[in-house]
Amino acid sequence: MTEIFHCSPVHELVDDRGFLEALRDLISDNNPMVVANAVAALAEIQENSTRPIFEITSQTLSKLLTALNECTEWGQVFILDALSKYKAADAREAENIVERVTPRLQHANCAVVLSAVKMILLQMELITSTDVVRNLCKKMAPPLVTLLSAEPEIQYVALRNINLIVQKRPTILAHEIKVFFCKYNDPIYVKMEKLEIMIKLASDRNIDQVLLEFKEYATEVDVDFVRKAVRAIGRCAIKLERAAERCISVLLELIKIKVNYVVQEAIIVIKDIFRRYPNTYESIIATLCESLDTLDEPEAKASMIWIIGEYAERIDNADELLESFLETFPEEPPQVQLQLLTATVKLFLKKPTEGPQQMIQVVLNNATVETDNPDLRDRAYIYWRLLSTDPESAKDVVLAEKPVISDDSNQLDPSLLDELLANIATLSSVYHKPPDAFVTHVKTIQKIEEEDFPEGSEGGYSESPSHAADASPPPTTASSAQYAAAQAVPAAPAPVPDLLDLMGMDNNNNAIVSADQPATPAGPPLPVLLPASTGQGLQISAQLVRRDGQIFYSMLFENNSQILLDGFMIQFNKNTFGLAAGGPLQVPPLQPRTSASTLLPMVLFQNISPGPPNTLLQVAVKNNQQPVWYFNDSNVSLLVFFTEEGRMERSAFLEVKF
């Protein structure tokens, strides 16, 4: 055994099953010190391995729980993490495990504390006794509070984790809201996180205290923090019905201070409050209207316009107010334009008099003829059509009762929350993103069933010449000249220089890529879709690109095999956009150790797949020497379907059914 321990650096042994088995066997040793040392070694190996190397079984459970006291800090973290994944047989076993682990909550190392919290939270799912759960919640509060007396960086990590914990079990820290009050010298990133948790812990019982705090924060110097504090007041109003009135009076006090960004932020949240409690607080609209001319931020402007439109019948001079906004309609950002359009229509439906009627003409003209924004245009046309055909149903649509909103900002989806809770004390719980969102995996290649492809085995292939001599450039129509020019780009995959620059080139001999020319890729390399190891030495990289309004499949073929490869053909499986080859695949015979790149022109809407939309492109490539290779291009950028200006072509837009 000692021999094995000495032999070589840990990471080289990760794949040595015999060695790992030996270590795992030691976990069952009767001496807790031996168990602790084996755990330490396993923990270190785990550091260097991406797959879990160790799992707790019901046999090793009690040994490990006993050894927990003897272990190093990292050994403890390792055991606790493994225990989090352990599936207890029943509530009693879960209770036993948790009871043995609770002393870890007092540990000085915050990694141990967070791992213990995670483990308890996860095992608690199984525990049914409300008394036991309540007790555990009580025990978890003090260690979490202690984490907040550490240095700011650790506080931040603790706060991000606590943010998750209070979403799952708000009771744990329900009585501790005071520790989340911001200190004047807290760094801004700590303050922001504390604010978020204060909102989550705010309740009818503590709201007065919380509002005093928020009000104070709203007068500090850091603008972002002030804004967040004002928004926090609004979110509390939405969350706590009984406290809404108190929240609103604080907001009104803040508006009266007339600090520009405070006013704007307040108006944004008041719009949400109106949506949460319709027909309740409209009396404050007059106060809001006093600040009308100070609004210069799109979101605040849009909110105010929404309020005016929504309550047009109760605001005497609603038409004047809207008219003042309309003067700058063409220059406003889209967000404001959309609100102006809707508010004007609401005003017209509520007060169908001459003034509003003129306004609506101006708005509809501006929003249809004079705009490039498709959202604005579509909405304007819908209103126009509704108003001109059936004003009564226009009322039903535009003035319909809106669903009441609730405060779900910064609230995580329950399944994501559970996944993140299982990752407490890791980076994942700090980012609030699941591990696979920032740890990339290596793509593996899978065989696609040949029957999936249209027209059987050969029919649909776009052929490439068997010999370079056979390859004649396509006929000289305008588009095929472009295409030939595209082919002439010597061995340079994406991005290809502007095609127009190449039009003057003599492309008789360059019409296909010379196989002798080594690939000198300019710009980022194409993604490898068929690695040489899978393709018996043939490697294929490819990506859809858009050049001069046309879609191409930019491909690079690399021959790492010992034989000449020729007769290349390509076929695309049915896909959402109906992408298919728009011409033959022009790849010259590939000598061993040579490569060739090509731009294959693509057409849309040729073989549209009936299934739900996705961005997957399944490709089959064959040649005269090798079997058919299948690969998936899973990274089809939607951008290539749009013109260079980012607008989708009309014909393309009409045909794609999202």
Ligand X SMILES: *[C@@H]1O[C@H](CO)[C@@H](O)[C@H](O)[C@H]1NC(C)=O
Spatial CA neighbour of 515 closest among 593, 590, 599, 624: 590
Question: Is 539 a binder of ligand X (CB under 6 A)?
Answer: yes
For the beta carbon of residue 109, count every other beta carbon within 10 angstroms.
Answer: 14
Sequence length of the chain is 658
Site for ligand X in 470-529 (CB under 6 A): 518, 527
C-alpha triplet 656, 657, 658: angle, nearest 5° = 110
- In the complex, what is the shortest distance from the CB of residue 305 to ligand X, in angstroms, rounded to a whole number? 14
Min CB(450)–ligand X separation in Å: 13
DSSP for 362-400 reads HHHHHHHTT---HHHHHHHHHHHHHHHH-HHHHHHHHTP
Question: Distance (Å, rounded) from C-alpha 322 to C-alpha 332?
Answer: 13
| Identity of the residue, 490 or 527, whose beta carbon is nearer to ligand X in the bound complex | 527
Nearest-angstrom CA–CA distance, 41 and 35: 10
- Using the rule CB under 6 A, is 446 a contact of ligand X? yes
In the complex with ligand X, which residue's Cβ is closer, 263 or 360? 360
CB of 560 to ligand X, least distance (A): 3
Which SS3 state, helix, strand or coil, does residue 271 take?
helix
Residue from 59, 283, 415, 444 touching ligand X (CB under 6 A): that is 444
The residue (of 105 and 515) whose beta carbon lies closer to ligand X is 515
Scan residues 191-210 and list those touching ligand X (CB under 6 A): none
Least separation in angstroms between residue 516's CB and ligand X is: 9
The answer to whether residues 544 and 636 touch, using CB atoms and an 8 Å cutoff, is: yes
Output the smallest distance, CB 420 to ligand X, in A: 23
* Minimum distance, C-beta of residue 637 to ligand X, in the bound complex (Å): 4
CA distance 406 to 414: 16
Question: Which residues face 642 on adjacent strands?
Answer: 648
Smallest gap from Cβ 394 to ligand X, in A, equals 20
SS (H, E, C) 478-492: HHHHHHHHHHHCCCC
Report the alpha-carbon distance of residue 348 to residue 387 in Å, rounded.
10
In angstroms, the CA 114 to CA 505 distance is: 66
Q: How far is the CB of 318 from ligand X (least distance, A)?
A: 17
| Of residues 143 and 535, the one with the C-beta less far from ligand X | 535
First-residue to last-residue Cα distance in the chain: 63
The reply to whether 626 sits near ligand X by the rule CB under 6 A is no
In the block, which residue shows the tokens 């390509």?
Answer: 570
Nearer to ligand X, 571 or 618 (CB): 618
Interface residue with ligand X among 93, 632, 648, 652 (CB under 6 A) is 632
In whole angstroms, give the CA distance from residue 581 to residue 461.
9
Nearest distance, CB of residue 359 and ligand X, angstroms: 9
Structure tokens at 636: 């089809």
Does position 576 interact with ligand X (CB under 6 A)? The reply is no
Nearer to ligand X, 280 or 634 (CB): 634
CA dihedral 289, 293, 296, 301 (to 10 degrees): 30
Least distance between ligand X and beta carbon 531 (Å): 9
| Of the residues 503, 532, 564, 656, which one makes contact with ligand X according to CB under 6 A | 532
Asked if 294 is part of the footprint of ligand X (rule: CB under 6 A), the reply reads no
Q: Where are the strands (E) in 451-549, listed by range?
A: 462-463, 528-530, 538-547
Q: Using CB under 6 A, which of the segments 13-21, 422-430, 556-564, 602-610 binds ligand X?
A: 556-564
Are the C-beta atoms of 361 and 324 separated by less than 8 Å?
no
Which one of the spans 217-225, 256-264, 375-383, 631-639 is the region binding ligand X (CB under 6 A)? 631-639
Quick check: 558 binds ligand X (CB under 6 A)? Answer: yes
- Taking the mean position of all CA atoms in its chain, how far away is CA 300? 26
Based on the shown chain and the rule CB under 6 A, indicate whether residue 534 belongs to the binding site for ligand X: no
DSSP characters over 111-124 = HHHHHHHHHHHHHH
Q: Beta-strand (E) ranges in 494-537?
A: 528-530
Which span sits near ligand X by CB under 6 A: 195-203, 237-245, 466-474, 557-565?
Answer: 557-565
Pick one of 155, 462, 618, 623: the residue that binds ligand X (CB under 6 A): 618
CA distance linking residue 373 with residue 382, whole number of Å: 14
- Binding-site member from 171, 219, 317, 637 for ligand X (CB under 6 A): 637
Please report where in the chains the tokens 């490569």 appear, as a residue: 595
Site for ligand X in 238-257 (CB under 6 A): none
- Of the candidates 300, 281, 295, 345, which has an alpha carbon nearest to the alpha carbon of residue 324? 295
Task: Considering only residues 348 through 377, tell me which ones interact with ligand X, judged by CB under 6 A.
Answer: 362, 365-366, 369-370
Cα separation, 46 vs 67, whole angstroms: 18
Minimum distance from CB of 614 to ligand X (Å)?
Answer: 8
Residue list 325-344, contact with ligand X (CB under 6 A): 326-327, 329-330
Measured from the CB atom, is 37 or 594 closer to ligand X? 594
Q: How far apart are CA 193 and CA 189, in angstroms?
A: 6
User: Considering beta carbons, is residue 162 or 336 the nearer one to ligand X?
Assistant: 336
- Residue closer to ligand X, measured from CB, 513 or 580: 513
Closest CA to 81 of 415, 420, 416, 426: 426
| Region from 10-18, 73-81, 249-257, 441-449 binding ligand X, contact rule CB under 6 A | 441-449
What is the per-residue binding string for ligand X in 577-596, x denoting contact by CB under 6 A?
----------------xxx-
Whose Cβ is closer to ligand X: residue 90's or residue 450's? 450
CA atoms of 326 and 340, how far apart (whole Å): 7
Among 172-180, 224-232, 308-316, 629-637, the segment contacting ligand X (CB under 6 A): 629-637
Taking the CB of residue 84, how many other CB atoms lie within 10 A of it? 21
Residue with Cβ nearer ligand X (237 or 596): 596
Query: What is the distance of C-alpha 22 from the center of its chain?
Result: 43
Identify the residue among 472, 508, 635, 651 touching ligand X (CB under 6 A). 635
- How many chain residues bind ligand X (CB under 6 A)? 29
* Binding site residues, ligand X, CB under 6 A: 326-327, 329-330, 362, 365-366, 369-370, 444-446, 448, 518, 527, 532, 539, 558-560, 593-595, 616, 618, 632, 634-635, 637
